[in-house]
Amino acid sequence: MLATPTLAEEILELKQQRRATILAHHYQDAEIQEVADQIGDSLELARVAQKFTGDVIVFCGVKFMAETAKVLNPERIVTLPDLHAGCSLVDSCPAEGVRAFKRKHPDHVVVSYINTSVEVKAESDILCTSRNAVKIVNSIPAEKPILFLPDINLGNYVKKQSGRENMQIWQGACIVHATFPARRLSAARAEHPNALVAAHPECPQDVLRMADFIGSTSAIIEWCREQSADEFIVMTESGVRYSLERDSPGKKFYFVANENCNCSECPYMKMNTLEKVRDCLDTLQPRIELPRELMDRARLPIERMLAVK
C-alpha cells in the first residue's frame, strides 16, 4: 500500500504542477519556512517577487507584502494563504488621512514604510522598509520637508539617524514591537548578562536605547551570525528563531514577551498555516486582485525605492 503523502510532500508536488514559488517572511511558522523557496525580510521578498518568471507566487506573510508582490509583478497569480493576515500599521494609516495631509502640506515628500495599504503607496513619493529607511530619507534633498508614515518608532529612529529636523511622523505603531516593555528587556539582560541585544526599529525608543544592534529581520539574523558572542536577546517576532538557529548553530537566542499576548508573536503572521498553503496551491485562492490603475500608481514609489543603491 502506498503511504499517504505528508502535507509538505503534497505542497512540493502542487508547487511543481502550478509552476509556483513559495516566499516566506521570517515571522512565519517554522513548518512554513521549511517548504519555502525563499525566506527573507520585506525588502528581500519584494525583490524576489519582482523577478519571478513562473506562474504563481504563494506569499506567506501578511497582505501588504502580497500586494507589493502583485504590484511589482502583475502578470503572476499572487495568493496569500489567509486574506485576513493584516497589519496594525496598515490599519493605522487610512489613504484618506494621507490625502488630507497632502492637501494641507503639498510641499512635503511622502516617505511610506512598506507596511501600508496599496492605496497609501499610490499616494506616496517613495517607499522604504526597515532595512533601507535611513538610506531612503538621506536620498531626499535636505531642504525638502518630509512626512514619514506610518510607524512612529521607526520614524523617530530614522529622524535621529539622519539628523533630519524637517520630518513629520505619523502616529502608527506595530502591536507586537511597540508593546515590548523596556522593563522586560532589563530583566532579560539581568538574567543573561553575557547576551548582546538586537532590536527591530519598530520597538519603542527606550528598548532601542538598550540595543547593541538595530536592524530589519534579515539584518538581525546576519549580525548575530557575524558576532563572536554566543547569546543574544532578540527584540522582534520569534519566527526569526528558525533562521537564527540555522545560520548560527550553537548560539542561544532569547525572546522577550510583549504586553498584548505575553508572547512575541504577530497574530496576523500566524494566521497562515501549512494546510492553508496547500489549499491555496490547490485552488489558487485566496488571490490578490487589484485595479490596474491603482497598481500603476503604487508601483512608481516602490520602484524608486528599489533604485536607491
- Indicate which of ligand SF4, ligand 13P, none lies near residue 130 (CB less than 5 to 8 Å, by partner kind): ligand 13P
> In the complex with ligand SF4, which residue's Cβ is closer, 15 or 270?
270
Which residues within the stretch 211-240 sit at the binding site for ligand SF4 (CB under 6 A)?
A: 237
Contact status: 89 vs ligand SF4 (CB under 6 A): yes
> In the complex with ligand 13P, which residue's Cβ is closer, 68 or 217?
217
**Inter-helix orientation angle 292-307/42-51, to 10°:** 120
Return the C-alpha cell found at 137: 530619507
Task: Tell me the sheet residues that pair with 20.
Answer: 56
Place of cell 551570525: 225
State the residues that interact with ligand 13P by CB under 6 A.
41-42, 115, 129-131, 174, 200, 202, 216-217
The 106-125 contact track toward ligand SF4, x by CB under 6 A, reads: ---------x----------
- Considering the complex, what minimum distance in angstroms separates the CB of residue 244 from ligand SF4? 16
By the 10 Å C-beta count (0-12 exposed, 13-18 middle, 19+ buried), 250 is classed as: exposed
- Indicate which of ligand SF4, ligand 13P, none lies near residue 121 (CB less than 5 to 8 Å, by partner kind): none
- Smallest CA-to-CA distance from 28 within 81, 73, 103, 77 is with 81
Return the C-alpha cell found at 148: 514619514
- Indicate which of ligand SF4, ligand 13P, none lies near residue 162 (CB less than 5 to 8 Å, by partner kind): none
- Considering the complex, what minimum distance in angstroms separates the CB of residue 153 from ligand 13P? 11
Which parts of 165-210 fold into alpha helices (H)?
Answer: 182-191, 205-208
> In the complex with ligand 13P, which residue's Cβ is closer, 10 or 21?
21
- Considering the complex, what minimum distance in angstroms separates the CB of residue 86 from ligand SF4? 8
Contact status: 46 vs ligand SF4 (CB under 6 A): no
Return the C-alpha cell found at 88: 496594525
Contact status: 62 vs ligand SF4 (CB under 6 A): yes
Ramachandran category for residue 29: left, alpha or beta (phi over 0 → left; psi -120 to 50 → alpha): beta
Q: Are strands 213-214 and 196-199 parallel, antiparallel or unpaired?
A: parallel
d(Cα 36, Cα 283) in Å, to the nearest integer? 18
Binds ligand SF4 (CB under 6 A): choice among 136, 268, 278, 305: 268
The 170-189 contact track toward ligand SF4, x by CB under 6 A, reads: ----xxxx------------
> In the complex with ligand 13P, which residue's Cβ is closer, 117 or 217?
217
Q: Nearest 5°: phi and psi at 135?
A: -60, -40
Q: Which residues lie closer than 8 Å to 185 by C-beta, 6 or more apart?
A: 197, 207, 210, 233, 235, 256
**Which residues here bind ligand SF4, judged by CB under 6 A?**
62, 87-89, 115, 174-177, 202, 237, 266, 268-269
